[in-house]
Amino acid sequence: MSRIRLAMLLFVASESVFFILLIIAYVVYHATTPSAADAFRYLDVPKTGIFTACLVGSSFTMWRAGIHFRNGARRAALALLFTTLVLGTAFLAGQGVEYVSLIRKNVIISRDLFGTTFFTLTGFHGLHVFIGLTMLGTLFGLELKRGIVDPLRAVDSVSIYWHFVDGVWAVIFPVVYLWILQ
């Protein structure tokens, strides 16, 4: 295993603890303060479901991009990398739209414990998506100009991070959105 891969896996392990605790905080408050948590009715589950599909799809394209890089199919790899960027950006935009509509209905971080835990959890996830997009964009830009010494390793480590961000959402979506469907 390369050093960079191991380092990224260790970092992801550390980040996992961070997100597990934020998710526990959400669950604890959602389970124990039902009266305070009626704001969740404003969540638009189908719409977020579509954006979730975007994020899951972006993990798939990232995986395929890695395979093409390894096989030396650089053009196809760059195209898939770009698709990943677009899908990730779509997810983030979807989250922005959702935030705006919630805030218009006065569902804000200081409204009740639902607002507090919801915005903290999804906000930190969104921040990680944003960091991931920055890394993807840097990777794409540098690789376009052939500026990376060892593109395989760079793609590999960014890929681990991106799958992690996607995996976290794969937990958040059922916990936050599907739980309220009863």
Interacting residue ranges for another protein, rule: CB under 8 A: 3, 6-7, 10-11, 13-15, 17-18, 21-22, 25, 28-29, 32-33, 36, 109-110, 112-113, 115-117, 119-120, 124
Least distance from another protein to the Cβ atom of residue 86, Å: 30
Taking the complex as a whole, the smallest distance from the CB of residue 19 to another protein amounts, in Å, to: 9
C-alpha–C-alpha distance, residues 127 and 38, integer Å: 26
Main-chain dihedrals φ then ψ at residue 121, nearest 5 degrees: -65, -55
> CB-wise, 89 or 116, nearer to another protein?
116
Neighbours of 75 (CB within 10 A): 8
The nearer residue to another protein, 87 or 113, going by C-beta atoms, is 113
Report d(CA 89, CA 85) in Å as an integer.
6
d(CA 93, CA 85): 12
Shortest Å, Cβ 40 to another protein: 15
